[in-house]
Chain A
Amino acid sequence: MGTTGQVSAMSYRYDVPNVGDIDVYEEHDGYEGLRKALEMEPAEIIEVVKESGLRGRGGAGFPTGMKWSFVAQDTGKPIYVVCNADEGEPGTFKDRPLMEYDPHQLVEGMIVAGLALNAVMGYIYLRGEYAASGRALTKAIRQAYDKGYLGADVMGSGKRYDLAIHRAAGAYICGEETALLDSLEGRRGQPRLRPPFPATHGVYGCPTTVNNVESIAAVPFILRNGVDWWRQWGTEKSPGPKLMSIAGEVQNPGNYEVALGTTVNEMIEMAGGMLEGRELKFWCPGGSSTPMLPADKADVPYTFEAIQEAGSLLGTGALMIYSDQTSVVSVVRRWTHFYEHESCGKCTPCREGGYWLGQILTRIDTGMGRMEDLELLEDLCDNIFGRAFCALADGMVSPITSSLKYFRDEYVEHIRRGASPYGVEPRRDIATVEFSSGGGYLADPPPATPKHVLETEPVGGGQA
């Protein structure tokens, strides 16, 4: 295993002032990856990405290079690169800072991906609510066009490649790649039947690759610094650094970049440890869709394979930390309402099941639960899991089944007493925790981020 702990690889430009400006970006090795890519054959680029072992950072962990090699090159149709920037998994906030602080990183990655796949067009499918990300990216794309890095003649290579932002409008399901494609085509975002896969029939029935922001942004780094640089971190099967969103009941929630293989306990320490007087009770490795794990599993190395062995999934790298003072029933109930709301309605088990799960959990949480509700929950989950088109349904049941697995006693106690055994109101004093918007990255020195919002002077148009 490579070195572990906090690293500064993909995030090293985050605290460079005005790096969203193309000139500043280029002073900091910007567009070097693209220059390198232009010296290579498309197949060579894909080969390097394969060798690096880069695995998709959007949740599923599918090897990026392999995904690219599946894209059909012989159909005569235009080929599209779609960046999935519809970050919506509860607890995840790794792509937003990347796009806000260092947008050219993504633009460069999109151009390189376009070259690797002989694509004509790239779309960044941006979560609608991400206003500041949209502004940063718009400026970056405009500058890249002005410089001739996009458009009819990418960096004098004679190849045409265009890039557009497509702003979504608020639907979690559009993070699922085929729902995203339907949404991009101006439809309700509902998953498509596969096969055919997007690699042959994606947007407009043309060969398409859909990759997460972080996966695409990683490629120029790999081209510029080499495969060995990338593989110095992590394990054979999970190499590289990972952008983490660490939130919940820790002292300094924020973005941290770590080498894969770092343990969760180490990451909690990195984030300043647990809030005072609290102990770790449960945590989610990669967003609410990944089964929660109890405190005694916090010493597993954070890699795709080790987390899977521990009974969960690495997901998006959204580490959510909850303490002994938080009711697992209330948290699971709220997540279930999330999935109930975000189900697209295509498949009956998910659409109807989500509603019933929400009803039962509300009943338990508000003191009207019955002991047989626990079996009922399990039975429902069993009938939802794996019985829908996409993974949203699986994500819906994973907080419930995993919490019943590890905290069944608490459910029983909650039903018996008619209230959470902890008897605590939801915590309110978290709001007084010292906060800086960039978390771990911007620690030296942190920008003057006012804790009290209302004392801020309007600076209109500035970037913190």
Chain B
Amino acid sequence: MPFPDDTVEEAQRLVRRYPVARSALLPLLHLVQSVEGYVSDEGIAFCADLLALTKAEVGAVATFYTMYKREPVGDYLLSVCTNPTCMIAGGQDIYEAYVEACGGHVDPEGAGVMVEHAECLGICDAAPVVTINYENYGPVTKDEALELLDKARKGEPPASNVSGYTPPTFKQVEREFSGIEDGTDDYLIEAARLQASAAAGPSYRTGETDIPVTHPGGDPAGHGGELFREASSIGSSPIRQLATDEDREIASELIDGMRGEAVQMAKHLTGEDDPAPAPPVDEQPEMSDEQVGAATGETDVDPPTDDEEA
């Protein structure tokens, strides 16, 4: 795992800020960018591991949103709005000049810059607009825009004439976007815990299906999973200490209605049915019959390998 312990701790904190763990995925990907400068394959595996999702599920999200970059950005990301209001004011020309000056979209020389065209940046009164790490500059002439690029390459971007902020580096601004420094974690974690333990709690879906999954074992990394494991006395996790007596009480009520399949699934998810430490997902050996049964909940169906082994 290339991520430092601090990042792992911060990531876990982000997860616990939501009643359902997966909600933290967008903030987590911002956090990954704050460490790596982009979203690498390791970054995707990191999120998948944390949220008990597949890498494909995380990758699908990471590639959907334009702010997640799949190649290193460098210190500064310059976005040029080329929507009509900026376009007729010269935005398109600025973008083309940037691509020419950088010989493409990425220029690793100096501080390292990436240039991109952007859709409406929400500041049309300053058209044409360029942003450096999401700080606005405008209106700028083509010459001014090129000077901005030069200064960014030297690592010395000027302060925004709109907000007055001097843009931090890409990694720094992504850290801000992850929300890890919002300073309200304690409140949000407590709020999420209370919501997760509500009489009729938040529900969540598994995989990419539209079928709601409402038992908390389906949320192994979040509060719901915690409460579930706590109540069923299975598995352990670094955050199980957080559960209070009140939580246990609520969870034990929840668990009463859940026997059989759900408990089996919970055991499987927490590794209780497999004494050996779980290998990484991509090296996972074929599951034994028992595990297949536990994972699918279809113990009465013979797995295909049954004949050979019998």
List residues of A whose CB falls within 8 A of some B CB. 75-78, 87-93, 95-96, 100, 120-121, 127-132, 134-135, 138, 141-142, 145, 150-152, 160, 162, 164-172, 183-189, 192-193, 203-206, 245-249, 253-255, 288, 318, 320, 322, 326, 330-331, 334-335, 338, 341-342, 344, 426-428, 430-433, 435, 437, 439, 449-454, 456-464
Q: Please determine whether B121 and A166 come into contact, CB atoms closer than 8 angstroms.
A: no
Q: Please determine whether A331 and B122 come into contact, CB atoms closer than 8 angstroms.
A: no
Using known A-B contacts A167-B27, A431-B128, determine if residue A458 contacts B166 with beta carbons closer than 8 Å.
yes
Residues of A within 8 Å of B66, CB to CB, are 169-171
Q: How far is the CA of A92 from the CA of B85 in the complex (A)?
A: 11
Check if B92 is an interface residue, CB within 8 A of chain A.
Answer: yes
Can you add 8 more A-B contacts, CB < 8 Å, to A169-B29, A330-B84, A431-B89? A92-B124, A95-B122, A129-B121, A169-B30, A204-B20, A326-B88, A437-B125, A460-B159
Contact residue among B22, B187, B204 (Cβ-Cβ distance under 8 Å from A151): B187
Q: How far is the CA of A239 from the CA of B162 in the complex (A)?
A: 32
The majority secondary structure among interface residues of chain A is loop
Q: How far is the CA of A310 from the CA of B212 in the complex (A)?
A: 44
Using known A-B contacts A172-B119, A437-B126, determine if residue A164 contacts B184 with beta carbons closer than 8 Å.
yes
* Shortest distance between the CB of B49 and any CB in chain A (Å): 15
Using known A-B contacts A169-B65, A186-B61, determine if residue A463 contacts B191 with beta carbons closer than 8 Å.
no
B163-189 near A? 1/0 per residue, CB < 8 Å: 111100000010011110011100110
Contact residue among B85, B124, B161, B188 (Cβ-Cβ distance under 8 Å from A453): B161
Residues of A within 8 Å of B76, CB to CB, are none
Residues of B within 8 Å of A193, CB to CB, are 210
Considering only CB atoms and an 8 Å cut-off, how many residues of chain B contact the other chain? 91
Using known A-B contacts A120-B194, A162-B188, determine if residue A334 contacts B159 with beta carbons closer than 8 Å.
no
Q: Please determine whether B93 and A428 come into contact, CB atoms closer than 8 angstroms.
A: yes
Q: How far is the CA of A88 from the CA of B64 in the complex (A)?
A: 16
Using known A-B contacts A134-B176, A426-B87, determine if residue A435 contacts B202 with beta carbons closer than 8 Å.
no
Q: List 19 A-B contacts (CB under 8 A).
A: A78-B19, A93-B124, A130-B122, A164-B17, A167-B177, A171-B66, A185-B204, A205-B203, A320-B124, A428-B93, A430-B90, A431-B128, A432-B141, A433-B139, A439-B125, A449-B161, A458-B158, A458-B159, A459-B164
B269-293 near A? 1/0 per residue, CB < 8 Å: 0000000000000000000000000
Check if B198 is an interface residue, CB within 8 A of chain A.
Answer: yes
Q: Please determine whether B203 and A334 come into contact, CB atoms closer than 8 angstroms.
A: no
Q: Please determine whether B127 and A430 come into contact, CB atoms closer than 8 angstroms.
A: yes
